[in-house]
Homo-oligomer: A and B are copies of this chain.
Amino acid sequence: MNSFGRLFRVSIFGESHGESVGITIDGCPAGLSLQASDLLPDLERRKGGIQKGTTPRQETDFPIFKSGLFNNKTTGFPLTILFENNNTRSEDYNKQRSIPRPGHADWVANQKFGGHEDYRGGGHFSARLTTGLVAAGAIAKKLMPGLQIAAAVTEIGGYKDTENGLQKAIEAKDSVGGIVECRVSGMPVGLGEPYFDSIEAVLSHMLFSIPAVRGVEFGTGFAAAAMYGSAHNDAILDNTGKTRTNHAGGVVGGISNGNELVFRLAVKPTSSTSKTQHSLNWETGTTEDFSIKGRHDLCVALRAPVIVEAVTAIVLADFMLLEQKIKRVL
């Protein structure tokens, strides 16, 4: 249940305040040059504490390879990468235990797992688990040097001027949502299948696995619902498949057409806001006001682009292997 992919398969594990978080990548071709430093730039982008609107917590995000690497090359066997958890302050969470935080998984996890879940810092639900995804994504990117995958925040709080949108949230002392857009150029023609293995189907599966994502659209997306066919259809111009417009976002019939792959995600505001909130206290059985202490991301969308790139790279590497466009031994 915590694995995804067919030939390039990732399995995540770990809890926010447990021993560690990590990932196992099964199916990475043998012979890829790889060392920890290859992963650090993307891991650095994922970390907070640098940009305005992200938390100043210092997580230790150094990847430790536990298997699958030999003489700085992949062996073709599973790569397990650990990130140790340090400096966690779990006592903060015990106090909160009986008041499930709205927007968080506290209440559903407690119901589903009978109270056995590791509730500290969100446990397995924590966005800290995305550290492993970012590591796997950096490896997937290395497998596909011909692809350029770039995601960015294009809206915050409804403002296309993201600085402005963020500033308004800071002034409001509230968390805020945003839009992330991802574009992939260099796409080969022919990735994906009709129906269940369409690019949109498989990619959305991974995109909606990212915490806080509430919507995904490809190409013109929701705007297409208001268009006429004559305006939406992309005229094919030549034998490379280049189209005059790109309302399809590079995918037709579930299959890449060689044009730029374009999609967008809606990221909800961080559930942990400093505003007073209202929730059930499951010990007393009554509802009460409370507020969350501690440092949290104001706008979790700001952390999302590198994660979006990572899962996109993971999905595309899998499709490339299925189409035999990446060899099993490099």
Listed residue (A68, A193, A252, A301) with the most chain B CB atoms within 10 angstroms of its CB: A252
Question: A36 contacts the other chain (Cβ, under 8 Å)?
Answer: no
Please state the number of chain copies in the assembly: 4
Question: A293 contacts the other chain (Cβ, under 8 Å)?
Answer: no
Question: A62 contacts the other chain (Cβ, under 8 Å)?
Answer: no
* Contact flags A298-328 to B (C-beta < 8 A → 1, else 0): 0001000000000000000000001110011
Contacts of A105 in B (CB 8 A): 194, 252-255
Say whether A114 contacts B273, CB under 8 Å.
Answer: no
Contacts of A282 in B (CB 8 A): 239
Segment of A12-20, A40-48, A50-58 engaged in the interface with chain B: A12-20
Majority-rule SS of A interface residues: mixed
Question: A141 contacts the other chain (Cβ, under 8 Å)?
Answer: no
The residue of chain B having its C-beta at the shortest distance from the C-beta of A120 within the complex is: B70
Contacts of A230 in B (CB 8 A): 174-175, 273, 275, 277
Contact of A195 among B69, B129, B195, B222 (CB under 8 A): B129
A276 to chain B, nearest CB (A): 8
Task: Indicate whether A66 sits within 8 Å of B78 (C-beta atoms), given known contacts A108-B241, A175-B228, A198-B208.
Answer: no
* CA A241 to CA B22, docked complex, whole Å: 32
Say whether A75 contacts B124, CB under 8 Å.
Answer: yes
Say whether A237 contacts B280, CB under 8 Å.
Answer: yes
* CA A68 to CA B247, docked complex, whole Å: 31
Say whether A248 contacts B24, CB under 8 Å.
Answer: no
* Contact flags A204-242 to B (C-beta < 8 A → 1, else 0): 111111010111111111111111111111111111010
Task: Indicate whether A273 sits within 8 Å of B233 (C-beta atoms), given known contacts A82-B66, A209-B198, A222-B214.
Answer: yes
The residue of chain B having its C-beta at the shortest distance from the C-beta of A194 within the complex is: B125
Say whether B229 contacts A196, CB under 8 Å.
Answer: no
Say whether B226 contacts A221, CB under 8 Å.
Answer: no
Say whether B228 contacts A176, CB under 8 Å.
Answer: yes
The residue of chain B having its C-beta at the shortest distance from the C-beta of A189 within the complex is: B111
Listed residue (A13, A205, A215, A216) with the most chain B CB atoms within 10 angstroms of its CB: A215
Question: A59 contacts the other chain (Cβ, under 8 Å)?
Answer: no
Task: Indicate whether A236 sits within 8 Å of B279 (C-beta atoms), given known contacts A67-B13, A176-B228, A222-B266.
Answer: yes
12 contacts between A and B (CB under 8 A): A11-B78, A13-B77, A15-B77, A105-B255, A158-B225, A174-B229, A177-B227, A178-B225, A198-B209, A205-B205, A236-B287, A237-B280
Q: Which residues of A contact B (CB under 8 A)?
A: 1-4, 6-7, 9, 11-15, 18-22, 24, 26-27, 30-31, 64-70, 73-80, 82, 100, 102-105, 107-109, 111-114, 116-118, 123-125, 129, 155, 157-158, 169, 172, 174-179, 189-190, 193-198, 200-202, 204-209, 211, 213-239, 241, 243-244, 247-249, 252-257, 266-273, 275, 277-280, 282, 285, 287, 301, 322-324, 327-330
Closest 6 CB pairs of A and B: A105-B253, A158-B226, A215-B217, A175-B229, A229-B273, A112-B190
